[in-house]
Amino acid sequence: MRKGIPVSPGVAVGTAYCIHEIYVDPETPCLEDKEVTAELDHYEAARERAMADLRALQAKVESQVGHAEAAIFAVHESILRDATFSDKIRTWIAKERLTAQSALHRLINEYTSLFARTKDEYLRERLNDVRDVVLRLNGHLSQVTRRGTPQPVHGPLIIVADELLPSQVVALGNIEVKGIVTQAGSQTSHAAIIARSRGIPAVSGVPGILRHVNTGDTIIVDGRDGHVAINPDAETRSAYRKLEREFFHLKDELAANRDAPAVTADGVALQLQANINSLADAQAAKAMGAGGVGLFRTEYLYLTHPDVPDEEEQLKTYRAIIAATPAHEVTIRTLDIGGDKTVPYLGHTHKEANPFMGWRSIRLSFEHPELFLTQLRAILRAAAFARSKRGKVRILFPMITTLEEVHRIRKMVRRACQQLDKEHKDYVEADIGMMLEVPAAAISVDTLLHAVDFVSIGSNDLVQYLMAADRDNPKVSHLCQPLAPPVLRVLARVVEACVRAGKPLTLCGEMAAQPRAFVLLVGMGLRSFSMSPAFIPSMKDLASHVTVAQAGELLQRVLQLRTTHRIKRFMRDQLTRIAPSSNWLDTE
């Protein structure tokens, strides 16, 4: 039994599938003599296609973003042209009869071992460039089925990975995933967000898990307390399978309320919306009874795209999301790249000392005004489509820190509108909102409210900034607690300020779907929440058991407690009495 960070509640028992950078079936036989020439040709063809990709990427990024940002693709092409790189691959194919993919697998392992011994940070960063090149080559090699290519893996499976990146999720396709375990990550990592959006039990931050699990092993994931069991005995398997059945039975029961209104026990209406990353999430939001989309994370469009998505590509995606969303109401957040989400074509070619407090989100958008304008134009045009459907689009801007930034944003939006006017393209001037996630903005919220149309609290970042603890660092992740006394006090002041100013306010961080936090937020006066679609029925059920007066009383008692531990224990006891089923949905 191994311990990690519980990031998505529930229990799953299933077969492990380990994601490595290049999957090579250990049973892949060596090539026959007559196959070697064909395999060498196959490698050369893939190499030529990869270089053509990189040249096209360099041209597109240079035209849309800038010359410096496009340079990374020239570096990657130079790696492919490097004689040492390709000679190794050709030698292993010709002399050791390896398939091209097996040779790439050996190469990346060799480079990883070599670079791991150096203390030179620059050389360590170059390993990422080699890895990107190898993965691009592998993608082209995988497009042709041949002897030794692993057959598609079928679910249900428990994915085990170092970290689950957006591109890896796309690669999984339609595989049925029962659970997720990662070595890295935290409650707000990619894996956690993906798992919660699908209602999949997940545990992150399990050190060395890939060294102890092999594809095909039986594995248990307990997303409530962060436990992972590898090849458990029959008694343990039986006990957890019972818990798994109970969890799915509870989810099925709660899903039956998808068409019921979201109201408290005393009849106060709440708005429960969905956080989404993709069209599939928007469809899930509708199935789960969401009132709309409170947060569409557009960065996943960039993270899963081979280069910069242009205006028409973005518009097509936004329209599809709007069409699939309940009431066609969508809040679209502009690009929130940086921190733990990076793309090379936006200049993320070096490692920042403090990436979460560095060049990211709105700061990056300001530095790339043409890229920013392209996204604004696409969103404004999508807003016109929403209006034709009797819906509404709002634009949310991430990581706002100062009033000057809001003024600059409004100037950019006006510029986008002027361009669309000149081109006679249909658009709608959407409401402009700020993502409140920086302590400076929380402290000075009164001075910012007059400049925006609405506010969305991003509790994931707000918590880590308030607690000075990197949420993706397992050593300090215990400090990133939404129920910490300072966090609750700051949130209470922000809610009070927005209510007093009459500004619409939504909380769209992960704490919106945590039962103990949800009740306290209702007690603060918050009435709009946005969360992973899978949790909407559960929060709707919880709300129906709690009155606003009860929530307010609980909040006042909690604000008198001095430690996170006492608050969590107190709220657990209270919810056990008020809504016993909610304990399944909280993580420790």
Question: From CA 61, how far away is CA 55, in angstroms rounded?
Answer: 10
Instruction: Check: CB of residue 27 under 8 Å from CB of residue 223.
Output: no
- CB of 344 closer than 8 Å to CB of 57: no
527: Cβ contacts below 8 Å, ≥ 6 apart: 268, 269, 270, 271
- Tokens standing for residue 564: 């996170």
- Structure-token match 């074509």, residue found: 345
3-state SS, residue 343:
coil
Complete edge-to-edge strand list for the sheet that includes strand 227-230: 2-3, 227-230, 218-222, 11-18, 157-161, 177-182, 202-204, 5-8
Contact 20, 74 (CB under 8 A): no
Distances (CA, A) of 561 to 252, 459, 515, 556, 571: 36, 21, 18, 9, 11
Q: Do 497 and 448 contact (CB within 8 A), yes or no?
A: no
Residue 327 CB partners (closer than 8 Å, separation 6+)? 291, 292, 391
Active site residues per annotation = 190, 508
Rounded to whole angstroms, how far apart are CA atoms 43 and 581? Answer: 56
